[in-house]
Amino acid sequence: MRKLVFATLCAIALLLVPASAQANSVGQCSGPSGKSVNSVNAFYKNLRTEGVVSQAAKVFESAGYRQRDGKVSTWLKNDAVVLKLAASATIQNYGCRNGKLFGAGKKTLRKGAKVVVSLPEKYGKGDFASRKTKKFSQKRVVTARFVGQTTCSNPGKGTVKVVIWVPKKQKPSKKPEQTPSDTPTTPTAPPPPEQPKIPAPIAETPGLAHAYVKGNADLFLKVKPAPGRDVAVQANVTAGGGTVSGVQSSSTYADEACPAEWKCYRAKFWAPNSPGKSRVTFTVNQDDGQTTEVVTEISIVPDEF
């Protein structure tokens, strides 16, 4: 009975999906084991195991993720946290099946359930705790944007109320009265100005909808490095078959001229000998050590001629 209830929590909308569409543990992104997670890192690992990270990135845009932020794993590490719901909430649920995300309809989560959310506004990870401690002893209910469920690692969209604990405000102590002094005080030098942070490179690709078996096609990438910085670009097939080679500078971006302040690149993709899915990852290395990755998935279809 417990297993039935647990499966229903993460895939109630799948009752309307054909039996052939429920092969992957009724759509749970934690896979057949269906184990709950207690950390953002474990949540990400389940998505990576299911092969849906790049698709989940689109869902995470509702929680604040942008492609220019770099890797999804980095954004989750810096901007996501596991907290408890302060009240029941209805979210848009997504499930996993055969390496793809699919919309699983609306789902209501109960009060007290652990969820993954983006950092509440005005708070950093060191400003609060997920449970009461000696340091963090004042309870607050705040609004946050939903990222995913810990019970099944399914991504989702929505706005929820969560519980955080913050330091209790201390009453200011009275300052001792100061007596005039005949000794002149030496003014302290102002601190040096903070150096502006160098941004990571921004990279975009129009992708490639499909390629024919044993055929080839051009892949395009445009990169906007930080001012005064240079970049090097690599392309590799990271899933499925095929090869990619010949990354070189290009004066065009797909069928348009390369935009000003951007650098454009072209690579040749050679499709495998059978239909399926291939994934190509562009890696942009900036000369200050910062890296940005862009992933495109390509459907390999039979030759129609």
What are the domain boundaries of the chain? Answer: 17-167, 202-301
Which amino acid is located at 33 in the chain?
A: S
- 152 contact partners, CB below 8 Å, separation of at least 6: 9, 10, 11, 28, 29, 30, 34, 36
Closest C-alpha among 133, 141, 143, 144 to residue 168: 133
Strand ranges for the chain from DSSP E: 80-85, 89-97, 100-109, 114-118, 136-149, 156-157, 159-167, 202-204, 210-212, 216-224, 231-239, 243-250, 252-253, 256-257, 263-270, 276-286, 291-301
d(CA 302, CA 284): 32
Q: How confident is the model at residue 1, as a pLDDT?
A: 41
- 276 contact partners, CB below 8 Å, separation of at least 6: 240, 241, 300
The mean pLDDT value of the chain amounts to: 84
> What are the pLDDT digits (tens) for 247-298?
889 889 888 889 988 999 899 888 888 888 888 898 999 888 889 998 988 8
Closest C-alpha among 259, 239, 243 to residue 251: 259
Domain spanning 202-301: CATH superfamily: Immunoglobulins (2.60.40.10)
> What are the pLDDT digits (tens) for 146-200?
999 999 999 999 999 999 999 987 766 666 666 666 666 777 888 888 877 888 9
pTM of the complete model: 0.50
* In the chain, % of residues over pLDDT 90: 41
- Tokens standing for residue 73: 């794993």
> What are the pLDDT digits (tens) for 15-59?
333 333 343 446 899 987 778 999 999 999 999 999 999 999 999
